[in-house]
């Protein structure tokens, strides 16, 4: 193949290349322009050849910089953009600007330079990258910030609060009775409700306030520059007033309320999880006060509260447990219920229950919960193999789970995401003959990184008490065990 044929073959390859191929001479005039360049930039070959490149494809605001770069390279041989891939803005014939990726090289003959660029339109790639960045930090349903963004933003906001010596507030809120509403109206309506809730919530906040959806119907708001409880109260009051307006989901008959917990951060040296726990505790105080209201807590309020677990407790025995329960007579018919209630409150969990294993099922014998409408009831039962209980007993799941969403075995159970189950503690109830009667369990709808071995040791002591009581209680004597 002679040189002329080789040159024609190469020219054909470049003309049909998937990338735009543009050549420019020493004076910046276009000397090569392939089919893909016509498609990307909109200029025909005849229109482009012989024209100044910067006037054809470079946005006007970048043309002086381009000219300066060309002159510097020709004069000094120095260039920042040659022989490497770069991304920048280009311009179509229509005037539309769009992102491109290009690689530029050059040749020199008799002191004259020619420059060649392979160019790709990366508009679709940039849109996809933008979507991925959005999904990494935003909730796809409501468009609010997501849990990941919140987990990053809260420590940063706390650091600014300390640096500026200014209080901030963390608001934790959810939709009252959302599960019942979701079940009765359907999941599609539930999703629409969450979207409308997010819109109404943001409408009563400042642009600088950081609003996040953590999951389900749980939302948070980081409000910086809150100098007093009065400021926080005013914000919460405005939000509740907005929620109490009628016409949710275009229905005048649907009433939606929220319980709001507010934690005031005063700059002390605590981790972000502690502030979240404080706001969460305030929210449940609002729920216990009848819902559709807000409660404010400061760290000093919690430090004075008798409900807080002592951090200095290193061991617990049977006598100490009975003192905590304040139950002196094990024959008392309310013993089991009192046990559940006392320990659930002590551990600050949402639901506690005693289960019984029989005939391949797990049956709830006692249930205690913060909420008036817990997701489980006495007498409910289900396949034992589909339960946390069985998997804790046989060792597939640990007795302490700080966040079930981070445990693959737990995530394989449908109930984990459905309720949801986040923090979970469970111990077997063993009778004197070694058989397992069932389990003593408690769980929360939110993760809890503070649960530890001391807490599970308390659970074991309570499980022993329950076992003794069951074996003394006539109605339980003949219950099947495994």
DSSP one-letter string for 60-110? GGGHHHHHHHHHHHHHH---SSBTSEEEEEEE-TTS-EEEEEEEEEEEEET
Catalytic one of 19, 121, 174, 217: 217
333 contacts 347 by C-beta, under 8 angstroms? no
Helix (H, G, I), strand (E, B) or coil at 299: helix
- Cα–Cα distance measured from residue 144 to residue 319, given in angstroms and rounded to the nearest whole number: 50
User: H or E stretch including 325?
Assistant: helix 318-325
Q: Kindly give, in sequence order, each residue whose CB lies less than 8 Å from that of residue 195, ignoring residues fewer than 6 positions away.
A: 141, 142
Helix (H, G, I), strand (E, B) or coil at 359: coil
Q: Kindly give, in sequence order, each residue whose CB lies less than 8 Å from that of residue 268, ignoring residues fewer than 6 positions away.
A: 299
| Catalytic residue check, 27 | no
User: H or E stretch including 357?
Assistant: strand 351-358
Token pair of 148 as six digits? 């990941």
- Cα–Cα distance measured from residue 144 to residue 211, given in angstroms and rounded to the nearest whole number: 6
- DSSP category for residue 479: -
User: H or E stretch including 459?
Assistant: helix 453-472
Token pair of 269 as six digits? 């040296």
Token pair of 216 as six digits? 């389900």
Q: How many residues would you count in the chain?
A: 482
User: H or E stretch including 32?
Assistant: strand 30-33
- Where in the sequence numbering do the catalytic residues fall? 217
């Amino acid at each position: 193949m002679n040189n002329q044929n080789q040159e024609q073959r190469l020219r054909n390859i470049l003309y049909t290349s998937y990338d735009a191929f543009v050549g420019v001479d020493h004076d910046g005039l276009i000397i090569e322009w392939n089919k893909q360049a016509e498609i990307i930039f909109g200029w025909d070959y005849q229109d482009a050849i012989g024209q100044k490149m910067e006037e054809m494809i470079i946005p006007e605001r970048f043309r002086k910089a381009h000219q300066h770069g060309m002159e510097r390279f020709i004069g000094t041989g120095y260039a920042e953009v040659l022989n490497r891939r770069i991304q920048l803005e280009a311009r179509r014939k229509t005037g539309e600007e769009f992102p491109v990726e290009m690689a530029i090289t050059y040749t020199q003959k008799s002191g004259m330079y020619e420059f060649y660029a392979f160019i790709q339109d990366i508009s679709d790639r940039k849109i996809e990258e933008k979507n991925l960045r959005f999904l990494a930090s935003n909730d796809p349903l409501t468009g609010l910030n997501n849990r990941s963004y919140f987990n990053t933003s809260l420590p940063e906001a706390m650091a600014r609060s300390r640096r500026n010596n200014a209080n901030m507030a963390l608001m934790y809120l959810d939709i009252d009775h959302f599960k019942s509403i979701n079940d009765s109206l359907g999941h599609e309506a539930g999703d629409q409700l969450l979207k409308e809730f997010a819109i109404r919530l943001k409408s009563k906040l400042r642009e600088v306030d950081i609003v996040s959806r953590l999951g389900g119907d749980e939302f948070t708001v980081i409000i910086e520059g809150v100098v007093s409880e009065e400021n926080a109260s005013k914000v919460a009051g405005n939000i509740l007033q907005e929620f109490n307006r009628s016409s949710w989901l275009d229905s005048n008959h649907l009433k939606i309320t929220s319980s709001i917990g507010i934690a005031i951060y005063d700059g002390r040296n605590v981790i972000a999880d502690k502030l979240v726990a404080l706001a969460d505790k305030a929210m449940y105080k609002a729920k216990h006060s009848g819902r559709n209201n807000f409660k404010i807590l400061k760290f000093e309020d919690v430090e004075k509260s008798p409900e807080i677990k002592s951090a200095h407790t290193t061991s617990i025995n049977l006598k100490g447990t009975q003192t905590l329960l304040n139950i002196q007579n094990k024959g008392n018919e309310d013993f089991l219920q009192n046990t559940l209630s006392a320990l659930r409150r002590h551990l600050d969990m949402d639901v506690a229950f005693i289960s019984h294993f029989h005939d391949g099922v797990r049956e709830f014998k006692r249930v205690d919960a913060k909420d008036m409408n817990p997701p489980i009831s006495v007498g409910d039962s289900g396949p034992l193999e589909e339960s946390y209980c069985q998997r804790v007993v046989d060792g597939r799941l640990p007795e302490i789970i700080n966040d079930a969403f981070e445990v693959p075995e737990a995530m394989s159970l449908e109930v984990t995401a459905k309720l949801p189950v986040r923090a979970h503690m469970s111990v077997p109830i063993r009778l004197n003959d070694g058989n397992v009667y069932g389990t003593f369990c408690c769980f929360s709808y939110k993760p809890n990184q503070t649960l530890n071995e001391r807490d599970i040791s308390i659970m074991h002591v309570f499980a022993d008490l329950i076992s003794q009581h069951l074996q003394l209680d006539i109605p339980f004597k003949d219950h099947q065990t495994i």
